[in-house]
């Protein structure tokens, strides 16, 4: 059983790029409003930047796996269209900044030559599918999860059910119960398991998330056979698409829908959706990670210094493949440059297997390195400035871009992160061997830096002092991954001026070393309690003695000024009548195209969205509650049920919801599309008649 979808089918890719180019032109000519255009470009990885007139481009790297050729191409594109800086995200993507909007179609076309995509890297879509960074090589894994992550990624790319949801949707795969992919904080998480018959399957977790109101995911299956993960995901997405919030953006994630209607009710809806799915089961071909090792031998001119043995101990990970290592590179704050990228690509191609991996901690791994070649890697990485010890340690701080480039950034996360790393390296060098205490920083409450699941977290904020505003940090303590799909979120302890962040870290670490009595950090924190840490840090809150430099954020030279733009990390809500009717017409075209190509389930779902867009357009002039697709359907019957010119022969809800009662057959697709087309035409006629009435 094979889906029509593959990641890079030329007709789909070509159509995407041509469409982006056309929409950019229409936008500049004033034919498409800014709101609609924003939604369109976000779904194509083009994200507005804090700096006016330029874009951030997010490049989707499924489960973080790159080839040397792909990294070469990304480096070339960055040099041509951007600044040569590459940024690794906490979702195993690569971002480049300061790109002209006009250049984005060409940039995308260049990337596709090496099968690299921007599609659905941003916006209200299924975001990059992440996975254990050591998938296929981990000594502890149950099995290699990457084939499953890859298949799920391909299946839902461009899938109509997840193109314009109320909010983004995040999926992760962990290879074992240690849960190194952090499934507990995802909308959907899968942890590898085998049953008594040695069949592959997954523990399934649902509705986790971070943000201002973090939620630990619920375990909904202790074991779901691998062939059922795609149908289950499809049903979850359909219910989320239909019932998810679409007006109150801060309440639009899956976790809020589950909180509102209850897990049991949500799963009941998921079960009802099975009949409408194109695939009741979806077998996934499983193959262990394959690799072809270079035959290169250690050159004679390799020299190492006294730090090599410590680097090997702390940065090189023994693989389950005997005699092979994964070399971990500590990429400070996730930033590296194209000249470094090309050398790394060369090293992987010439001396390993031609593969590199991006990690959830914003680092890089080069796997399949023979032990004899580790001195060569050390020598080359040291020359690049990438041989710092402490990969995935306390000294390896995670941070989002913050006010450097993000519209939503409140304070500089990268600036304080760089300073805290300096403090650790100079004053606490022994923490380079500690992989248990993790420090994470976000520039705002949205938690892109995952600050609220860290042992020690910092969140960018502000603090008022008389008539002035200073950058500040919320200090959070006590989060972490517990394994088995369990995690804990850190407590908000206290808010302090940002320039006192280093002192806060010193106080916490000094107290930990003095008072832990052999406990790990979480045990030590629980024993002391949040009030203890509030009192410990309280002296840092005194703002009566702030100095002029306290009003200048880390990494900046000018006095701090709070500037927050329009957030784009999940798109926007569009309510313009003309735009919605335009959307319905466009979706009708997609529906008819899918029908002609024999993609009946997709054709039906596009037609369903024709009903939704056209109905929402007419409802915008009413006082109806239209914060979800389901509410649009019910409200239309209430407000327009007696309007004969819009009647389809049965109540609107009955017509629309035929799509969940019927198998996605050719005959039903044609009948359903015909009804959607009829309704779209009636809605347009009705709207035009009202305009004429108002104009006369």
> What are the tens digits of pLDDT across the range 568-609?
554 433 335 777 787 888 899 999 999 999 999 999 999 999
**131 vs 631: CA distance, rounded Å:** 35
Question: What pLDDT was estimated at residue 149?
Answer: 97
Question: What pLDDT was estimated at residue 2?
Answer: 37
CATH of span 399-551 = 3.30.413.10
* Architecture of the 577-695 domain: Up-down Bundle (1.20)
Of 58-72, 94-108, 308-322, give the lowest mean pLDDT range. Answer: 94-108
SS3 200: strand
Q: Is pLDDT of 473 > 80?
A: yes
- Tens of pLDDT, residue by residue over 241-294, are 999 998 888 889 999 999 999 999 999 999 999 999 999 999 999 987 778 888
Share of the chain above pLDDT 70, in %: 95
**590 vs 13: CA distance, rounded Å:** 15
Q: Is pLDDT of 53 > 80?
A: no
Question: What pLDDT was estimated at residue 481?
Answer: 95
Residue 468: CB partners within 8 Å, gap ≥ 6?
551
Say whether pTM exceeds 0.85: yes
Residue 584 · residue 632 · CB < 8 Å: no
Question: What pLDDT was estimated at residue 71?
Answer: 98
Question: What pLDDT was estimated at residue 1?
Answer: 32
Positions of CATH 3.30.70.3340 in the chain: 308-384
Share of the chain above pLDDT 90, in %: 72
Positions of CATH 3.30.413.10 in the chain: 399-551
Q: What is the mean pLDDT of residues 211-232?
A: 96
- Tens of pLDDT, residue by residue over 61-89, are 999 999 999 999 999 999 999 999 999 99
**234 vs 239: CA distance, rounded Å:** 9
Residue 208 · residue 161 · CB < 8 Å: no
Residue 443 · residue 460 · CB < 8 Å: yes
Average pLDDT along the chain: 90
Question: What pLDDT was estimated at residue 4?
Answer: 34
**CB-CB neighbours of 539 under 10 Å:** 11
Positions of CATH 1.20.120 in the chain: 577-695
Distances in Å between the alpha carbon of 455 and those of 390, 413, 435, 472, 496? Answer: 17, 17, 11, 19, 18
DSSP letters, 530-576, are HHHHHHHHGGGG--TT--GGGGS-TT--SPP--------TT------
* Architecture of the 308-384 domain: 2-Layer Sandwich (3.30)
Question: What pLDDT was estimated at residue 668?
Answer: 97
Q: Is pLDDT of 44 > 80?
A: no
Q: What is the mean pLDDT of residues 669-675?
A: 96
């Amino acid at each position: 059983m094979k889906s029509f979808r593959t990641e890079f089918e030329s007709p789909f890719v070509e159509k995407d790029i041509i469409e982006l180019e056309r929409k950019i032109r229409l936008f500049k000519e004033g034919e498409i409003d800014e709101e609609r255009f924003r939604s369109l470009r976000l779904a194509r990885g083009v994200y507005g930047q804090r700096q006016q007139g330029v874009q951030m481009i997010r490049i989707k790297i499924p489960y973080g796996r790159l080839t040397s050729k792909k990294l070469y191409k990304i480096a070339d594109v960055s040099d041509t269209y951007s600044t040569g800086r590459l940024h690794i995200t906490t979702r195993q993507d690569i971002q480049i900044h300061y790109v002209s909007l006009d250049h984005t179609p060409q940039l995308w076309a260049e990337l596709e030559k090496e099968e690299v995509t921007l599609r659905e890297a941003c916006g209200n879509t299924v975001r990059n599918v992440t996975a254990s960074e050591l998938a296929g090589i981990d000594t502890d894994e149950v099995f290699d999860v990457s084939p499953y992550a890859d298949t799920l990624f391909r299946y839902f790319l461009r899938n109509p059910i997840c193109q314009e949801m109320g909010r983004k949707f995040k999926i992760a795969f962990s290879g074992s119960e240690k849960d190194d992919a952090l499934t507990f904080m995802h909308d959907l998480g899968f942890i590898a398991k085998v049953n008594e018959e040695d069949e592959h399957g997954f523990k399934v977790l649902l509705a986790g998330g971070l943000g201002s109101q973090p939620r630990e995911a619920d375990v909904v299956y202790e074991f779901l056979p691998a062939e059922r993960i795609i149908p289950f995901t499809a049903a979850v997405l359909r219910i989320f698409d239909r019932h998810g919030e679409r007006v109150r953006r801060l309440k639009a994630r899956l976790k809020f829908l589950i909180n509102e209607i209850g897990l049991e009710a949500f799963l009941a809806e998921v079960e009802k959706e099975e009949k409408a799915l194109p695939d009741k089961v979806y077998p996934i071909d499983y193959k262990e990670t394959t690799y072809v090792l270079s035959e290169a031998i250690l050159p004679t001119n390799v020299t190492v210094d006294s730090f090599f043995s410590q680097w090997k101990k702390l940065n090189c990970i023994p693989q389950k493949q005997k005699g092979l290592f994964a070399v971990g590179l500590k990429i400070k704050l996730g930033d590296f440059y194209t000249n470094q990228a090309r050398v790394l690509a060369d090293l992987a191609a010439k001396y390993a297997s031609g593969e590199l991996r991006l990690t959830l901690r914003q680092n890089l791994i080069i796997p399949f390195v023979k032990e004899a070649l580790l001195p060569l890697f050390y020598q080359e990485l040291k020359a690049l400035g990438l041989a710092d010890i402490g990969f995935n340690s306390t000294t390896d701080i995670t941070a989002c871009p913050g006010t450097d480039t993000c519209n939503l950034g409140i304070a500089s996360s990268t600036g304080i992160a760089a300073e805290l790393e300096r403090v650790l390296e100079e004053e606490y060098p022994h923490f380079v061997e500690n992989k248990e205490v993790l420090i994470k920083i976000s520039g705002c409450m949205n938690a892109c830096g995952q600050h609220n699941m860290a042992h020690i977290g910092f969140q960018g904020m502000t603090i008022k002092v008389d008539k002035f505003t200073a950058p500040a940090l919320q200090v959070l303590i006590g989060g972490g991954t517990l394994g088995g799909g369990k995690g804990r979120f850190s407590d908000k302890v206290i808010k302090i001026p940002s320039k006192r962040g280093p002192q806060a870290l010193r106080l916490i670490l000094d107290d930990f070393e003095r008072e832990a009595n052999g406990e790990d950090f979480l045990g030590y924190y629980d024993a002391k309690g949040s009030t203890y840490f509030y009192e410990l840090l309280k002296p840092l809150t005194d703002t009566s003695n702030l100095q002029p430099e306290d009003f200048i954020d880390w990494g900046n030279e000018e006095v701090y000024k709070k500037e927050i733009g329009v957030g784009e990390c999940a798109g926007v809500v569009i309510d313009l009548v003309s735009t919605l009717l335009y959307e319905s017409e466009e979706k009708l075209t997609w529906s008819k195209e899918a029908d002609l190509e024999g993609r009946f389930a997709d054709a039906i779902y596009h037609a369903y969205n024709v009903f939704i867009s056209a109905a929402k357009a007419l409802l915008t002039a009413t006082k109806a509650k239209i914060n979800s697709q389901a509410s649009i359907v019910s409200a239309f019957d209430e407000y327009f049920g007696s309007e004969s010119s819009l009647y389809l022969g049965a109540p609107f809800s009955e017509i629309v919801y035929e799509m969940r009662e019927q198998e996605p057959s050719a005959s039903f697709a044609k009948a359903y599309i015909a009804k959607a087309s009829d309704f779209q035409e009636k809605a347009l006629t009705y709207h035009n008649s009202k305009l004429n009435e108002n104009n006369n």
